[in-house]
Structure 1
Amino acid sequence: MTKLFKWAKPYKLIIFLILLLTVLAPLTYSYIPQFIKYVVDIIFKGDPDSKVTLPKVVVDFFASFQEPLTAVLWVAIFLVIYQFIRAILLFLNGYFKGKLSEGIAYDMRTMLYSHIQDLPVSYHNNVDTGDLIQRCTSDIDTIKSFLTNQLPQLLYIVASLATGIYQMAFINVELMFITLAIVPFSLVSSIFYFRYVKRKFNELEEVEADMTTVLQENVNGVRVVKAFAKENYEIGRFDKQNQRFRDESKKLNKAMAIYWGISDGVVGLQYGATLVAAIFFARDGLVSSGDIIASLMYISMLVYPIRGLGRIIGDFGKAIVASNRADEILSLENEYIYDGELKPKIKGNIEFKNVSFKFPDTDKHLLDDVNFKINAGETVAIIGRTGSGKSTIANILVRMYEYDQGKITIDGVELKEIDKHHLRRNVGIILQDPFLYAKTILENIRIADPNISERKVMMATKTAAVHDDIVNFYKGYNTLVGEKGVTLSGGQKQRVSIARMLVLEKPILIFDDSLSAVDTKTDVRIRNALKENNKNLTSIIITHRITTAKEADKIIVLEDGKVSQIGTHDELSQIPGLYKTLWDIQGALEEEFTMTVKKKEGE
């Protein structure tokens, strides 16, 4: 419960004002029936023994008018003014509730979003995006709604009962107890309703998260769906989750309908019982006509708030579940808890010494006793079969993953002792499947620094061999790329992402198979341009393409998480091993392709 209420702590003054205004609402309403009672019993009937709970100064003011119509007129004027003041109080209550609601929602969204940004990559690799979005949107709405609306309503119920009981007891104690007969039933039924709703809402949240995930995956993968003509399959997949959500919602709605239906019926019976009792009491001279009218008005203060208790308890269950779901994220350790403090000047000397790495959910090491050295300014290629650990090395170098054993140094400084933000500002990684924002090409390239000059942007795009493509677009650099760069080809997206990294002028660049979608000629052109523009750049190229690797100063071959070979192309192509096997296959194809092109050019 403390997890739920902690979000309201920064707003103590606003909460105090809301609670004060919440108490004043039923308190001020409790005197309205007294105005009616005064008019019926004292002005019209002229009963001198009839008593009202209105302040004495108000009663004396009304009594100063001898003419009944004049007195009624002044009562009406006073009641209008009184209701106007009540309207102002209700407005202020709503205003402060809105301010509290949006303040809590803003704080929660900011804290959740900031914390999610700082969570490690391992979390994002395993989380359902749809579920995460739901926790940051609808769960926040549930929490803010309960804290700002339903929780003050609980105080309203207490205040309404207290003032209603006081006013009813002033009229007739027996009539008060008859009216309160429904309260125990409402309390007991509310408790059972709360227990059921809490369990069902938790199940409903999980089903809705599954449905949202299916929808999100389908929208993001719509091209794949169409490419394999799987529209009907996806419709059926979504329909299955939709049916589960519908069925669970119907169960919850059925429980709500039963509860509110029975509750309405009982309230109707209570009105009838109070009216019948009041008539018998009036016959015996225990209550007046004005008392009967006032009593019927007070029933709403005693009965309806208790009816609302079920809704509040139900929403309390929802809010507890939503709060726990939000707290699950906030309780996760962010990746900067275990961070280094050093911010050395990075040139590009990298050394792996007996480095091993495994994921937490397995005992098998993906990297096992890896050793190699890269000198500043070198271009090094890393090749190996799928799953051999190539991309893991890239993620370790930017500390997306933390190695288990061994030692990695950059310019002689232990990697784990370097501040992560500083490290990532100096070591850039370009992924095979780059993410582009739904902005212009220029905005995407400037994403890390909006103040980068257009001249610098164009130099980077020329180096990345994408400038000519961009200027041929209708709007050039101001062309919108669409969500995830959908309007660009795979090669264009890769080259824009390369340009995006080049403008930052980092001393170490890692190309994680990020040249796979460009042709060999463009590949060579990009790498040559990189060398010409920055001779001190340390480039690590992770690739399956031997024709790319062979141009590197050094080639590292990975097999089953171990370094099996290190050398140049000329050396490794002559030594039996994985590299020679791949070169014999790919090299022959490249030579055949080159001869075919030359033959056609000769014709």
Structure 2
Amino acid sequence: MIFLGVISSLFDSVYPIFNRYALDNFVVKNTLKGLPAFIILYVVVLIVQVVDNFVTCALCGQVEMCMDRDLRNASFNHLQELSFDYFNRNNVGYIHARVMSDTGKIGVMVAWRMMDVIWNGSYILWVFVMMTILNPRLAAYVLVMVPIAAVIAIYFQKRLLVLNRKIREINSTITGNFNEGITGAKAIKSLVVEGKITDDFEKDTEKMRRESVHSTHYSALFSSLITMLSTLSLALILWKGGKLSTEGFMQIGTLTVFISYALGLLEPVQNVIVTISEMIAVQVNVERLFKLLETESDVSDSKEVIEKYGDTFNPKKENWEPLVGDIEFKDVSFRYPDGDEYVLENFNLKVPKGTNVAIVGETGAGKSTLVNLVCRFF
């Protein structure tokens, strides 16, 4: 994918050279000699680039989808191994955003964003080489704008990065609240708190709107400054290159090459800076996903137990002993990880096999907790 992207950028940088040759050899000399060979070569290059672009995009899509699949399978399977404690501390919307949204952004980064950096970066390199070969002095007038554009891009992207992080955090909160609002619709209606839930949701969406508009203003100013630099670069080329052409020191075809490069060079510089900033911003998604993947379950088996009995996804049922059925609690004290009070304190209970025991108590007394502990969910 990377190799073909570099080749594609080379083809894009070559087209102005074709124009130069056509102007200097066909237009200026007023002849069609060699035109068939020129057309054949041009068409061959065009066809090869079309095939190159098609394969590159197909590989980018494959890389993205495979990355999404692998990360989502890994995170979903890991969720099945975590204890109830994790789901007590994190709502469904938060977990859903990690498994779906964050993995999607990482897939886009590894495939398309990486390709953007490779293509634009290699294009800038090819253009630099070709301009230097054609006319080093005139190339300097174009390239002097590159560091200026880079400084402006870095300045704006630092601020855009902060704003985008805020927007993504707010969006994550909205997604979580949206999910909870739907899954908990029955409870919300039963408690008649639709108004409060709606007000909170509207506050979050309004906050996201403000930050998004702020970010858009920065982006608009950034794009305008880059366009201005591109125009200044073109003006320098027309001024210096025009003088060289009229004085006979440079052919008109070479001037058109520099005009093409001046118009198209700063946009790749802008794209490289923006893409790198986006890749840095995706670090937040990477950190949040790996925080999930690296979370260890509070309930875990020893290596010896796993070797003999297997794990969640690969149980060795042939080694399981028959269940006897005796259940016994000895001085058990328990409180939930996100709670402050003990649900059970010094609790004792023995249930012999073949007997029935009824656990009776008011809500919150610990009836469900006993079942959760017997099943080893906590």
In structure 2, the gaps of 5 or more residues are 310-319
Query: Cα distance, 1:363 vs. partner?
Result: 7.0
The one of 167, 174, 184 aligned to 1:204: 167
The one of 367, 379, 390 aligned to 2:356: 379
The aligned amino acid for 2:204 is Q
Shifted more, 36-45 versus 121-130: the winner is 36-45
Give the 3-state SS of the residue equivalent to 1:368 in structure 2.
strand
Q: TM-score, normalised by structure 2?
A: 0.89
In the TM superposition, 1:181-580 aligns within 5 A as: 181-227=144-190, 229-300=192-263, 302-335=265-298, 337-338=300-301, 340=305, 343-360=320-337, 365-401=342-378
Following the alignment from structure 2 to structure 1, what is the Cα–Cα distance between the partners of residues 212 and 27? Answer: 54
Shifted more, 253-262 versus 118-127: the winner is 253-262
The one of 17, 20, 23 aligned to 2:6: 23
Shifted more, 195-204 versus 336-345: the winner is 336-345
Query: Cα distance, 1:91 vs. partner?
Result: 0.9
The answer to whether the 8 A contact 2:165-2:281 is kept is yes
Could you tell me which residue of structure 2 aligns to residue 178 of structure 1?
141
The aligned amino acid for 1:387 is G
Could you tell me which residue of structure 1 aligns to residue 316 of structure 2?
none
1:97 aligns with 2:80: no
The answer to whether the 8 A contact 2:299-2:377 is kept is no
Aligned-CA RMSD value: 2.2
Give the 3-state SS of the residue equivalent to 2:329 in structure 1.
strand
The answer to whether the 8 A contact 2:154-2:273 is kept is yes
Give the 3-state SS of the residue equivalent to 1:285 in structure 2.
coil
The aligned amino acid for 1:373 is K
Shifted more, 380-389 versus 164-173: the winner is 380-389
The answer to whether the 8 A contact 1:26-1:159 is kept is yes
The answer to whether the 8 A contact 1:34-1:294 is kept is yes
How many equivalent pairs are there?
364
Q: 1:134 to 1:364 in 2, by over 3 A?
A: closer
Q: Percent identity?
A: 23
Q: Which has the higher helix share?
A: 2
The answer to whether the 8 A contact 2:4-2:52 is kept is yes
Following the alignment from structure 1 to structure 2, what is the Cα–Cα distance between the partners of residues 277 and 299? Answer: 13
The answer to whether the 8 A contact 1:160-1:305 is kept is yes
Could you tell me which residue of structure 2 aligns to residue 144 of structure 1?
107
Moved over 6 A (4+): none
Query: Cα distance, 1:137 vs. partner?
Result: 1.9
Q: TM-score, normalised by structure 1?
A: 0.57
The answer to whether the 8 A contact 1:347-1:376 is kept is yes
Q: 1:331 to 1:385 in 2, by over 3 A?
A: same
**Greater relative contact order (Cα 8 A, min sep 6): structure 1 or 2?**
2
Give the 3-state SS of the residue equivalent to 1:348 in structure 2.
coil
Query: Cα distance, 1:229 vs. partner?
Result: 4.8
Q: 1:260 to 1:173 in 2, by over 3 A?
A: same
Q: 1:300 to 1:146 in 2, by over 3 A?
A: farther
Following the alignment from structure 2 to structure 1, what is the Cα–Cα distance between the partners of residues 331 and 181? Answer: 43
Query: Cα distance, 1:227 vs. partner?
Result: 4.3
The aligned amino acid for 1:33 is P
